[in-house]
């Protein structure tokens, strides 16, 4: 709801994160305050990384779709979910996607949950592929460094002889 509001009105982030449409702070239970803090983290992180998130979403749209064509509620769901998948350490992409689909079923248009599921699934798979590729590259670099160190040690021993 907050990101949708920001997208429509461009309310300053600080004002948005007060959640003025909700209860007064003194009326929140400890659990609600914790949820509000988590929501603030997700919303501000999404806004801070919006260009990268939008580029990622856009790159997974078919050629007949543009960002402008996406329903604002669906776009808010896609943006926050993409933020969680890409930037929130320890998040489980499958759970994030499942939550996004459930939110879309409740608040989105009729079949928006299918669209959201497809886009987030593609994003998650691509990010996993990049992560695995990065691990492979790091492993190769480690092996090269180890081989180089072994060669230097071998040359050092030969020089002593």
Q: Helix, strand, or coil here: 49?
A: coil
CA distances from 19 to 5, 32, 39, 74, 138 (A): 11, 12, 10, 20, 43
Tokens of 43: 């919303």
Question: pTM for the complete prediction?
Answer: 0.69
Average pLDDT rounded to a whole number, residues 140-160: 55
pLDDT tens digits, residue range 85-121?
A: 999 888 899 999 999 999 999 988 888 999 999 999 9
In whole angstroms, what is the distance from residue 110 CA to residue 104 CA? 9
């Amino acid at each position: 709801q907050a990101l949708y509001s920001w997208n429509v009105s461009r309310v300053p982030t600080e004002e948005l994160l007060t959640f003025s449409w909700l209860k007064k702070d003194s009326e929140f239970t400890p659990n609600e305050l914790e949820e509000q803090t988590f929501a603030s983290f997700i919303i501000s992180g999404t806004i801070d990384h919006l260009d990268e998130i939008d580029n990622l979403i856009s790159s997974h749209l078919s050629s007949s779709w543009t960002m402008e064509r996406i329903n604002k509620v669906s776009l808010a769901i896609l943006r926050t979910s993409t933020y969680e998948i890409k930037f929130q350490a320890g998040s489980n992409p499958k759970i994030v996607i499942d939550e996004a689909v459930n939110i879309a079923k409740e608040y989105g248009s009729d079949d928006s949950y299918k669209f959201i599921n497809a886009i987030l699934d593609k994003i998650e798979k691509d990010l996993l592929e990049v992560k695995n590729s990065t691990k492979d590259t790091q492993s190769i670099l480690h092996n090269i460094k180890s081989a180089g160190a072994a060669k230097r040690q071998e040359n050092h021993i030969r020089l002593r002889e």
